[in-house]
């Protein structure tokens, strides 16, 4: 969406400050404001700055761009903004302003790397890893060319969190799901979040065509960012997609409720759950993962104080991980400290990007947790499929 479409909404923000706080006003909810303590680093302040840019009351500069980019777009501001008619657009506005920054030549250098790698035909992913067409995985897991489902692996799982990828493949096989893989290119979430939108439509259409070639009408993804992009951003780009998209936690929960799978062994661990922003605040997917955790025999599931819409961000999103890596780990350290209060041995999430940043912070600050995705936990237990 173009920034100009939001001009009147931006003007109506009167910077009341609610967007900076938790529901009970006991603490800051905005990682950016919590770090920098200047109003421009809150969402309300950014609205003011963006409006000034649109009216040419201020000019683009490296400093202005860095204020716009030092935000993980976690969406906590949307939870607490009192203007219900437009609070759901706050992150969209920031992303649209970043697109204007790119047009004006002020995208920060580190974030530019995401685009350079993704459009490179050797990679087609933001990590700069040689592109894989996933044929080796199809052969290893004996997957067909035509199936009911496509497992859209996502770049982070395929190139950085392969244990998570493999655990998902094994789970889908053990559950009796008819699925296949495609020669996927980046879903474009990193490009959208950083305003580098020029190739987005082309990449989206490419992935849709590959999915359609399999005959699948359903897509499952273990990546929260891919899930949000496929469910929400494709529609915003007017991409036609007659395909149902589910996150793995949703599919597993459906299978449990329908009696198609059962968990038949125990994990005797204390576990707490970190809500990913992409499927939490941005998609409202809070209950399904928790229902799955609570069905795992033996675990002691404990919630952190800040959960669901009030959850503290892991710090990796919105281009922050690549743009401001030290700060990304500081944000994650705050989340680990919140988890420590629960007595948990394992911090689990349902997003490979969260898993990466939480793991990096866990190592750097010697917090002593085991960081696992939900699917990796399920890989440790016996799962039995039942024909219904």
Q: pLDDT tens digit string along 157-168? A: 999 999 999 999
> What pLDDT score does 276 carry?
98
pLDDT band at 210 (very low <50, low <70, confident <90, very high): very high
Strand 383-385 with 261-263, pairing: antiparallel
> What pLDDT score does 27 carry?
79
Q: What percent of the chain has pLDDT over 70?
A: 99
* pLDDT of 18 over the 90 cut: no
The mean pLDDT of 40-53, rounded to a whole number, is: 95
Q: How far is CA 291 from CA 230, 253, 286, 387, in A?
A: 23, 7, 9, 22
Which of 16-30, 67-81, 356-370 bottoms out in mean pLDDT, i.e. has the lowest?
Answer: 16-30
User: Which tokens is 135 given?
Assistant: 């044929």
> What pLDDT score does 14 carry?
73
- Higher pLDDT residue, 97 or 28? 97
Residue showing tokens 């997003």: 351
pLDDT band at 388 (very low <50, low <70, confident <90, very high): low
The mean pLDDT of 123-140, rounded to a whole number, is: 98
Domain range list for the chain: 3-107, 110-255, 261-384
> What pLDDT score does 205 carry?
96
Residue 26 CB contacts under 8 Å (≥ 6 apart), including other chains = none
> What pLDDT score does 26 carry?
72
pLDDT tens digits, residue range 281-299? 999 999 999 999 999 999 9
Q: 263 - beta bridge partners?
A: 383
> What pLDDT score does 147 carry?
98
* pLDDT of 317 over the 90 cut: yes
Residue 182 CB contacts under 8 Å (≥ 6 apart), including other chains = 134, 150, 152, 207, 210, 211, 213, 214
Within 10 Å of residue 183's Cβ, how many Cβ atoms?
A: 14
Give the DSSP per-residue string, 181-222.
-------SHHHHHTT--TTHHHHHHHHHHHHHHTT--EEEES
Q: Does domain 110-255 have CATH number 3.40.50.1860?
A: yes
Q: Are 202 and 133 in contact (CB under 8 A)?
A: no
pLDDT tens digits, residue range 321-355? 999 999 999 999 999 999 999 999 999 999 999 99
> What pLDDT score does 83 carry?
85
> What pLDDT score does 16 carry?
86
Which of 8-22, 28-42, 192-206 bottoms out in mean pLDDT, i.e. has the lowest?
Answer: 8-22
Residue 268 CB contacts under 8 Å (≥ 6 apart), including other chains = 298, 299
> What pLDDT score does 85 carry?
80
CATH superfamily of 261-384: AF0625-like (3.40.50.10700)
The mean pLDDT of 266-277, rounded to a whole number, is: 98
Residue 57 CB contacts under 8 Å (≥ 6 apart), including other chains = none
The mean pLDDT of 173-189, rounded to a whole number, is: 97
pLDDT tens digits, residue range 64-122? 999 999 999 999 999 989 888 889 999 999 999 999 999 999 999 999 999 999 999 99
């Amino acid at each position: 969406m173009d920034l100009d479409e939001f001009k009147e909404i931006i003007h109506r923000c009167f910077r009341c400050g609610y967007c900076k706080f938790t529901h009970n006003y006991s603490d800051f909810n905005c990682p950016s404001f919590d770090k920098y303590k200047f109003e421009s680093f809150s969402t309300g302040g950014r609205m003011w700055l963006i409006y000034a840019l649109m009216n040419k009351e201020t000019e683009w500069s490296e400093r202005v761009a860095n204020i716009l980019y030092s935000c993980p777009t976690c969406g906590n501001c949307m939870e607490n903004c009192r203007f219900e008619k437009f609070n759901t657009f706050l992150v969209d506005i920031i992303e649209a302003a970043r697109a204007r920054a790119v047009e004006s030549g002020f995208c920060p250098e580190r974030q530019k790397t995401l685009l350079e790698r993704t459009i490179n035909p050797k990679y087609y992913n933001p990590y700069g890893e040689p592109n894989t067409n996933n044929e080796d995985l199809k052969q290893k897991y004996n997957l067909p060319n035509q199936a009911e489902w496509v497992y859209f692996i996502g770049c982070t799982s395929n190139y950085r969190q392969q244990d998570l990828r493999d655990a998902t493949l094994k789970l889908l096989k053990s559950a009796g799901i008819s699925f296949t893989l495609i020669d996927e290119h980046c879903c474009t979430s990193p490009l959208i979040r950083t305003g580098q939108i020029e190739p987005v439509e082309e990449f989206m259409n490419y992935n849709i065509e590959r999915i359609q070639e399999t005959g699948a009408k359903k897509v499952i993804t273990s990546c929260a960012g891919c899930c949000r992009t496929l469910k929400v951003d494709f529609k915003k780009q007017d991409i036609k997609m007659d395909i149902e998209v589910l996150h793995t936690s949703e599919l597993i929960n459906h299978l449990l409720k329908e009696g198609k799978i059962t968990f038949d062994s125990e994990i005797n661990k204390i576990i707490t759950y970190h809500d990913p922003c992409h499927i939490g605040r941005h998609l409202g997917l809070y209950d399904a993962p928790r229902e799955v955790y609570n069905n795992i025999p033996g675990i002691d599931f404990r919630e952190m104080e800040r959960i669901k819409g009030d959850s503290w961000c892991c710090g990796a999103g919105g281009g922050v991980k690549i743009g401001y890596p030290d700060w990304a780990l500081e944000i994650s350290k705050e989340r680990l400290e919140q988890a420590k209060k629960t007595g948990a041995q394992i911090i689990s999430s349902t997003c490979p990007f969260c898993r990466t940043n939480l793991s990096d912070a866990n190592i750097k600050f010697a917090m002593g947790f085991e960081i696992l995705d939900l699917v990796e936990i399920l890989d440790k237990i016996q799962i039995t499929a039942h024909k219904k």
